[in-house]
């Protein structure tokens, strides 16, 4: 199934959840949905027999640099062999996105990574804690954000040492 057909199928069910569909994006078309509806959309994407997106290839956090954070879902269907890109955008001062961990278990660690690096809060995630950064990393400090400042000291050690 092509991306625009997939989009039409989602549109017929979740017209109110859609923000934007960009068909002419380089390299792949993508669909942006509302952050508080993404779980419903994903559940439909997985359970609809025509779509059957059973495989989450990648989930990435993004900082767009203009006060917006985003999450990008690259999904694939093992059954039909088609793929699709889903996006959500949230303001940096209230970065709350619904978790899709209950739909694709692979989202568990990817969401933890996005939380760790960007501070995106995934609502409904069973175990949202840092994954790659040390546990004593300062709270509220997210290294992949564009406005991240390298701290002068880490655990009493000067940076760069």
* Number of Cβ atoms within 10 Å of the Cβ of 150: 8
Position 23 contacts other proteins (CB under 8 A): no
Site of tokens 């419903």: 40
Position 72 contacts other proteins (CB under 8 A): yes
Position 60 contacts other proteins (CB under 8 A): yes
The only residue of 19, 23, 25, 96 in contact with other proteins, by rule CB under 8 A:
25
- Residue 150: CB minimum distance to other proteins, A: 10
**Of 91-120, which residues contact other proteins (CB under 8 A)?**
104-106, 108-110, 117
Cα–Cα distance measured from residue 90 to residue 149, given in angstroms and rounded to the nearest whole number: 22
Position 6 contacts other proteins (CB under 8 A): no
The only residue of 38, 85, 86, 120 in contact with other proteins, by rule CB under 8 A:
85
Shorter beta-carbon distance to other proteins: residue 7 or 84: 84
| DSSP string for 45-103 | HHH-TTT---EEEEEEEEE-SSSEEEEEEEEE-TTT--EEEEEEEEETTS-EEE--TTT
Shorter beta-carbon distance to other proteins: residue 14 or 55: 55
| Contact (Cβ atoms closer than 8 angstroms) between residue 93 and residue 68 | no
């Amino acid at each position: 199934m092509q991306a625009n057909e997939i989009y039409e199928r989602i549109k017929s069910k979740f017209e109110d959840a859609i923000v934007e569909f960009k068909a002419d994006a380089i390299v792949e078309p993508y669909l942006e949905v509302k952050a508080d509806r993404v779980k419903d959309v994903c559940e439909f994407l997985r359970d609809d027999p025509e779509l059957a997106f059973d495989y989450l290839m990648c989930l990435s956090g993004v900082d767009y640099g203009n006060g917006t954070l985003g999450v990008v879902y690259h999904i694939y269907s093992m059954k039909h062999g088609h793929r699709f890109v889903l996006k959500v955008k949230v303001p940096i001062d209230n970065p709350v996105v619904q978790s899709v961990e209950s739909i694709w278990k692979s989202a568990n660690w990817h969401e933890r990574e996005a939380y760790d690096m960007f501070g995106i809060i995934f609502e409904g995630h069973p175990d949202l804690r840092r994954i790659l950064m040390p546990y004593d990393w300062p709270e509220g400090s997210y290294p992949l954000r564009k406005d991240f400042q390298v701290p002068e000291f880490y655990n009493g050690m000067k940076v760069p040492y």
